[in-house]
Amino acid sequence: MNPMSTYQRIYAVVRKIPRGRVTTYGTVARLAGLQGQARLVGYALSALPTGTAVPWHRVINARGEVSLRTSATGAGITQRIRLEQERITFDSAGRVPLARFGWKTAERPARV
């Protein structure tokens, strides 16, 4: 039952992430039927051809931070900028509050 390659399934899940939301590699893996293989998601996204219609920037690690190793040069910065353009904010530690912007995360009684 794999009409699509593993990478294709991962991309299909990522395309479902709504604008203004983020999710983790682990979550994408689970939704793609690859539970426990978060790393594959990361590898799949790194292999993503530029210009592809996949919101890869909405996928961050479980700590809520951008996980690109190239964060110092380009892609990492691009990812953060794209997220901020979707009204996603970063805290002083450079992390996204998953409890607030995480996809499919129930909004809790915002103890603001």
Partner DNA sequence: ATGCTGACTATGT
Partner DNA sequence: TACATAGCCAGCA
* Interface residue with DNA, options 69, 94, 99, 104 (CB under 7 A): 69
Secondary element (H or E) of residue 19: none
Q: Which of 2-10, 80-88, 102-110 is the region at the interface with DNA (rule: CB under 7 A)? A: 2-10
What sign does the dihedral 38-106-71-11 (CA atoms) show?
A: positive
- Could you list the beta-strand ranges (E) of 1-112: 23-24, 59-60
Q: Which residue in the set 12, 21, 61, 90 belongs to the binding site for DNA (CB under 7 A)?
A: 61
Q: Nearest distance from residue 63's CB to DNA, in Å?
A: 6
Min dist CB 35 to DNA, Å, is 10
Q: Applying CB under 7 A, which part among 31-39, 80-88, 100-108 lies near DNA?
A: 31-39
Place of tokens 């039952």: 1
Structure tokens at 31: 């939704």
Is residue 99 a contact residue for DNA (CB under 7 A)? no
Reduced to 3 states (helix: H, G, I; strand: E, B; else coil), residue 27 is: helix
67 CB neighbour count, 10 Å cutoff: 16
- Give me the residues that bind DNA (CB under 7 A), please: 5-7, 24-26, 36-48, 56, 59, 61-63, 67-70, 75, 79, 93
